[in-house]
Homo-oligomer: A and B are copies of this chain.
């Protein structure tokens, strides 16, 4: 097994993946809000590629729940109603609280250290600039890491799917100054529970944490 694959990292990124990532980024950033029409030709021109990879990227985005493909009409960014958003958070609560419990049992020392590092960074940013994109990014990393630590890839993938589409909804609602203190406190308790390998504590805090976030939606979303 002594073959050196000569940096397969450099394996030129497929353009379909690039387009997928870019469009996804734009949707998450809110550049293209709900109901925005995304035509294959427009995107192809914008990214200087042919329609083929754009089509593949759009289908993947649709399968991941970010957009909706109208049979022979076009693709629109999927609008979520308040009811749908709440549903998503309910299921997340179920999956992520289970993951938190498993993570408490199975986490490594290194993972605990990384979790603390992320929490520290979030607190530093919240105190200084309060930059929402940076906070959102770190928050996502924290949740991902806990899912990873559960050592259950099926659970991880199921929850990730929901977290991603959830971020379309909540990026700018969850990080209001009033909710921030609570979020940071939740994170700290969560990490302590995982460090202490207390499954019930960890899953309970996660359940409460997500329920709080879910509740914040009710005041910010109208439909």
Chain B, Cβ-Cβ closest to A151: B87
**Quick check: B94 and A11 within 8 Å, CB to CB?**
no
**How many copies of this chain does the complex contain?**
2
Binds B, one of A137-145, A153-161, A191-199: A153-161
Contact of A95 among B11, B56, B94, B161 (CB under 8 A): B94
The 0/1 profile, CB within 8 Å of B marked 1, for residues 73-109 of chain A is 0000000000010011011001100100000000000
**Quick check: A90 and B59 within 8 Å, CB to CB?**
no
Q: How far is the CB of A89 from chain B (nearest CB, A)?
A: 9
Main SS at interface, chain A: helix
Contact of A158 among B55, B71, B152, B162 (CB under 8 A): B162
Residues of chain B contacted by A153 (CB below 8 angstroms): 84, 87
**Quick check: B95 and A91 within 8 Å, CB to CB?**
yes
Residues of chain B contacted by A63 (CB below 8 angstroms): 60, 63-64
Given the interface pairs A94-B98, A162-B158, the reply to whether A87 lies near B152 with Cβ below 8 Å is: yes
**Quick check: B152 and A91 within 8 Å, CB to CB?**
yes
CA distance A154 to B158 in the complex (A): 11
**Quick check: A11 and B71 within 8 Å, CB to CB?**
yes
**Quick check: A155 and B90 within 8 Å, CB to CB?**
yes
The 0/1 profile, CB within 8 Å of B marked 1, for residues 1-41 of chain A is 00000000001000000000000000000000000000000
Residues of chain B contacted by A71 (CB below 8 angstroms): 11
**Quick check: A158 and B56 within 8 Å, CB to CB?**
no
Q: 29 pairs across A/B with beta carbons < 8 Å?
A: A11-B71, A55-B56, A56-B56, A59-B59, A59-B60, A60-B63, A63-B64, A84-B153, A84-B154, A87-B152, A87-B153, A87-B154, A87-B155, A88-B154, A90-B152, A90-B154, A91-B95, A91-B152, A91-B154, A91-B155, A91-B158, A94-B95, A94-B98, A95-B95, A95-B158, A154-B162, A158-B158, A158-B161, A158-B162
Across chains A and B, which 5 residue pairs bring their CB atoms closest together, nearest first? A87-B154, A91-B154, A63-B63, A87-B152, A88-B154
Interface set of A (CB-CB < 8 Å, partner B): 11, 55-56, 59-60, 63-64, 71, 84, 87-88, 90-91, 94-95, 98, 152-155, 158, 161-162
